[in-house]
């Protein structure tokens, strides 16, 4: 998530319990959930949201946009910095959470729920299994 305009992650107290089971994670602090319809919901983790501080603006990709794995999906602007977030899976954007455009602080208050960012139909759904699980992500952030 924190790419070319990388924000220094401060010494933020972090509860590893904030990496829910049943999701997969990237080392750039995105989370991914496989949906029943085969699509994948993507957001940024609580750890990333805490590091960013108060989110004030979110730029999301258009529905129908093709994305490559590792490609910039959009930006999250906070009172501290502007950070890019990336596509953990290649595919096509099938939905985006326009509600976070109106209430970007939802990313801070509910990053794993109402603060989701986009849904992607993956070109290769098996790539999901290559992402890290909750235990590995908790180790990464502790």
CATH no. for residue 99? 2.40.50.100
Residues belonging to the chain:
142
Is pLDDT of 13 > 70? no
Is pLDDT of 4 > 50? no
Domain count, the chain: 1
42 touches 117 (CB < 8 A): yes
What is the per-residue pLDDT for 84?
95
Q: Please indicate, yes or no, if residue 136 is contained in any of the structural domains.
A: no
Q: Is 88 or 7 the better-scoring residue by pLDDT? A: 88
9 touches 29 (CB < 8 A): no
75 touches 83 (CB < 8 A): yes
| pLDDT over 90, % of the chain | 79
Residue with token string 């595919």: 91
How crowded is residue 24: how many other Cβ atoms within 10 Å of its Cβ?
22
What does pLDDT average to over the chain?
88
- Using pLDDT thresholds of 50, 70 and 90, give the confidence band for residue 15: low
Q: Please indicate, yes or no, if residue 14 is contained in any of the structural domains.
A: no
Is pTM, for the whole model, over 0.75? yes
Q: Please indicate, yes or no, if residue 101 is contained in any of the structural domains.
A: yes
Q: Please indicate, yes or no, if residue 11 is contained in any of the structural domains.
A: no
3-state secondary structure 101-142: HHCCCHHHHCCCCCCCCEEEEECCHHHHHHCECHHHHHHHHC
Q: Please indicate, yes or no, if residue 32 is contained in any of the structural domains.
A: yes
- Using pLDDT thresholds of 50, 70 and 90, give the confidence band for residue 138: confident
């Amino acid at each position: 998530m924190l790419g070319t305009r990388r924000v220094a992650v401060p010494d933020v107290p972090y509860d590893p319990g904030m990496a829910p089971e049943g999701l997969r994670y990237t080392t750039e602090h995105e989370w991914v959930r496989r949906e029943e319809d085969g699509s994948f919901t993507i957001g940024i983790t609580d750890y990333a949201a805490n590091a960013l501080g108060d989110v004030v603006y979110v730029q999301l990709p258009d529905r129908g946009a093709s994305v490559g794995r590792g490609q910039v999906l959009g930006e999250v602007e906070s009172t501290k910095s502007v950070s890019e977030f990336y596509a953990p899976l290649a595919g096509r954007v099938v939905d985006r959470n326009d509600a976070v455009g109106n209430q970007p602080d939802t990313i801070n208050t509910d990053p794993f729920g109402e603060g989701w960012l986009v849904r992607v139909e993956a070109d290769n759904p098996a790539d999901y299994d290559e992402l890290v699980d909750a235990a590995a992500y908790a180790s990464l952030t502790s």
